[in-house]
Structure 1
Amino acid sequence: MKATVTLGIDLAKNSFSLHGISADGTVTIKKSVTRVNLAKFIAKLEPCLIGMEACAGAHYWARKFTHFGHEVKLMPPQYVKPYVKTNKNDAADAEAICEAVTRPNMRFVPAKSVDQQAILSVHRARELLVQSKTAQTNQIRGLLAEFGVVIARGRGPFKEQLPDIIEDASNELPCVIRETLQCLLELVEKLSKKITVLERTIQAWSRQSADASRLEQVLGIGPITASALVATVGNAKHFKNARQLAAWLGLVPRQHSTGGKTVLLGISKRGDGYVRKLLVHGARAVVSHSKRAKSGSSEWLNSLLETKHTNTAIVALANKNAPIAWALLTNQSEYVPQSN
């Protein structure tokens, strides 16, 4: 029997479809394996190239298969889809993965370490709690608006005014609404405490990471953004240049060019939306401070704000910080702010 040199695995919860080929393209493996038997089956194979989609569990299996001596490459699912020749099923997906992983122009996702996945899990948990807190706060505002009570925008007025509104007898709120609002307020406070705990965990991790501490020197990048960048990007040398990282994060213009005419649209918004959002929010804070206090701001940012819309300047600053982060991670150097 010919040796398997390339193996495509369609990941799932319990049943995994495998498609392997030899050096001359002959199909050597075409079967389904249960989760219990997958590791045992792969361990018995001679070292080969294994391709998988970068989905749930992919990084775990990548580390495990690499330990067995195989070369593992992860691919974005959207880049594998064009190689599916027939109707979608697990066997066809495995065959498509097996073919896609051998393409010379295929883009791959670096496998994450346990430490990277751990801190990113904290980030995802924090993000979910923040969304829950925001939704709960908006619900309270909506319920109060139904009874003619409106709280000013912002977390400060909400935190200060809501307890007084619940206790104020002159606003004619029914008792059942006061009890409901008190219950919801306690839930918001609990969510805030949980968010604080997770943020402290992220900050502690960021202080221990030399790369994250290096990124925090950049204006607009704090501990949360720095730790997310380091954990998501991993080895920055996987990117050929700084612009490739910015493009991977979806911060560069989207193209719709034809006939030799170049047309640039808004940012592509490809890649990791969470890291992109953090970079944009950090840039928004810098721009907001720059508009309030002209001193200390860079000439580049001030001139941009004079000629462009605020949101355009925010995205431009985020797009500028991403290449800076690539340079710091690649060269292992300290950040030196430019005078302009």
Structure 2
Amino acid sequence: MREFSTEVTGRTVGLDIGDRYSHFCIVDTDGSLVEEGRVRTTESAMQRHFRNVGPMRVVLEVGTHSPWVSRLLESCGHQVLVANARKLRLIYAGDRKNDRVDARCLARVGRLDPQLLAPIRHRSGSAQADLAVLRARDALVRARAQLVNHVRGTVKAWGGRLPSCSTPAFPQRVHSSVPDALLPAVDPVLATIAELSQRVRAYDRHIEHLSATRYPETAVLRQVNGVGPLTALCYVLTLEEPNRFRKSRSVGSYLGLCPKQYASGELQRQLRITKSGDVMLRRLLVTAANYILGPFGPDCDLRRWGDHLIERGGKYARQRAVVAVARRLACLLHSMWVNDTVYEPLRHSVPIAA
């Protein structure tokens, strides 16, 4: 568990970051109000206001601006705590909610017990920039899928039906099957799909280059069948520092793949997974788990364990097994990364004789 010094910083600042202006509240060690105000949410304004005021503990809520603001405040010599928004029910469920009140709440909670904020740690600037490449590729893939569905739906509503094919080959394969009356509407969309496919391939080449030159540890993770360059790089960039997890099992919870807990007395409920953490990495791990449990998945410990869960039956047995395999895969990748080990698909099982 992270520990926070109270000796270095005598004052605590609650900073509620807005898109144009950010409200701040400063309290001393006794909780007395020292100063309130607002500052423009720009790098120059933040530096002018917080650079020469002495070291303080600054508490802010995670959000769009929190990565660069936290790095800037740390460069000014302050101790920065980025609060987990899921743990701030005091703010988002309050009867009086405005920027000034939110800043006060952040300051007072940060002064009393920082652990109540469940503080998170933002990744470095270089990792954020490289991860932006993966997110941009993901946005193009989603846009392309939406356009493909639009074309199929348009033709189907006309009474036609387009042949099945891969997404990259979609524009060339289906053009001849589009009714002539719909060509003026569909042709520009097909051209856009083709261009998006070219952009996605360019991103794939760039991701391969990044993995080989700047993140060679991804080669260790790619030993597992179903984990490609995209999943491996996203995993490395999201975790960034594997040694901050004392146990590999903690990674599954960090990525939101563990079920919520509700137990009170004799009552125990089985709930859905938390879905906290990075959405894209969680989706990629679930995709890898689907491949491992699918018809083309190789024989390995993960597959056998997942098949056993499916055989046990129950409601949504396969969906539960996929999530469970994704969670175990996340833990396995962390263990391989930390120990730099060679992947053994059947380490805990006996191979099936041909």
TM-score, normalised to structure 2's length? 0.84
Q: In structure 1, what is the equivalent of residue 329 of structure 2?
A: 321
Q: 1:89 aligns with which of 87, 98, 118?
A: 98
Range 50-59 or range 218-227, more displaced: 218-227
Q: Spell out the pairing of 1:155-194 with structure 2 (5 A cutoff).
A: 155=166, 158=170, 161-166=173-178, 173-175=179-181, 177-194=182-199
The answer (yes or no) to whether the contact 1:328–1:334 under 8 Å persists in 2 is yes
Q: In structure 2, what is the equivalent of residue 12 of structure 1?
A: 18
Q: In structure 2, what is the equivalent of residue 202 of structure 1?
A: 207
Q: Spell out the pairing of 1:264-279 with structure 2 (5 A cutoff).
A: 264-279=270-285
Q: In structure 2, what is the equivalent of residue 26 of structure 1?
A: 32
Q: Please say if 1:100 is aligned against 2:109.
A: yes
CA distance in 1, matches of 2:132, 2:149: 26
Range 133-142 or range 38-47, more displaced: 38-47
Instruction: Give per-residue Cα distances to partners, 1:235-289, cap 9 Å, x unaligned.
Output: 2343443333211212112233322332212322222221111100111112114
CA distance in 2, matches of 1:298, 1:134: 29
Query: For the structure 1 residues 302 and 129, does the alpha-carbon distance in structure 2 shift closer, same or farther, using more than 3 Å as the test?
Result: same
The answer (yes or no) to whether the contact 1:287–1:314 under 8 Å persists in 2 is yes
Query: For the structure 1 residues 294 and 274, does the alpha-carbon distance in structure 2 shift closer, same or farther, using more than 3 Å as the test?
Result: closer
Q: Spell out the pairing of 1:1-340 with structure 2 (5 A cutoff).
A: 4-34=10-40, 35=42, 36-83=44-91, 87-101=96-110, 102-155=113-166, 158=170, 161-166=173-178, 173-175=179-181, 177-207=182-212, 208-289=214-295, 298-308=303-313, 309-329=317-337, 331-337=338-344, 338-340=347-349
CA distance in 1, matches of 2:211, 2:194: 26
Query: For the structure 1 residues 108 and 221, does the alpha-carbon distance in structure 2 shift closer, same or farther, using more than 3 Å as the test?
Result: farther
The answer (yes or no) to whether the contact 2:165–2:173 under 8 Å persists in 1 is no
Query: For the structure 1 residues 74 and 303, does the alpha-carbon distance in structure 2 shift closer, same or farther, using more than 3 Å as the test?
Result: same
Query: For the structure 1 residues 98 and 296, does the alpha-carbon distance in structure 2 shift closer, same or farther, using more than 3 Å as the test?
Result: closer
Equivalent pairs, count: 329
The answer (yes or no) to whether the contact 1:290–1:297 under 8 Å persists in 2 is no
Query: For the structure 1 residues 64 and 251, does the alpha-carbon distance in structure 2 shift closer, same or farther, using more than 3 Å as the test?
Result: same
CA distance in 2, matches of 1:202, 1:123: 8
Q: In structure 1, list runs of 5 or more residues that go unmatched.
A: 167-172
**Residue 155 (structure 1) shift:** 2.1
The structure with more helix, counted as a fraction of residues: 1
SS at match of 2:13: strand
Q: Which amino acid aligns with 2:143?
A: S
CA distance in 2, matches of 1:131, 1:72: 35
The answer (yes or no) to whether the contact 1:290–1:302 under 8 Å persists in 2 is no
Instruction: Give per-residue Cα distances to partners, 1:95-150, cap 9 Å, x unaligned.
Output: 12223334334312112211111122112211211111011001100111122211
SS at match of 1:155: coil
CA distance in 2, matches of 1:335, 1:100: 46
The answer (yes or no) to whether the contact 2:162–2:177 under 8 Å persists in 1 is no
SS at match of 1:336: coil
Query: For the structure 1 residues 180 and 104, does the alpha-carbon distance in structure 2 shift closer, same or farther, using more than 3 Å as the test?
Result: closer
CA distance in 1, matches of 2:90, 2:48: 31
State the superposition RMSD in angstroms. Answer: 2.5
SS at match of 1:279: helix
Query: For the structure 1 residues 224 and 259, does the alpha-carbon distance in structure 2 shift closer, same or farther, using more than 3 Å as the test?
Result: same
**Residue 4 (structure 1) shift:** 4.9
Query: For the structure 1 residues 93 and 296, does the alpha-carbon distance in structure 2 shift closer, same or farther, using more than 3 Å as the test?
Result: closer
SS at match of 2:294: helix
**Residue 224 (structure 1) shift:** 1.1
Range 79-88 or range 265-274, more displaced: 79-88
Query: For the structure 1 residues 213 and 185, does the alpha-carbon distance in structure 2 shift closer, same or farther, using more than 3 Å as the test?
Result: same
CA distance in 1, matches of 2:120, 2:206: 26
Q: In structure 2, list runs of 5 or more residues that go unmatched.
A: 1-8, 350-354
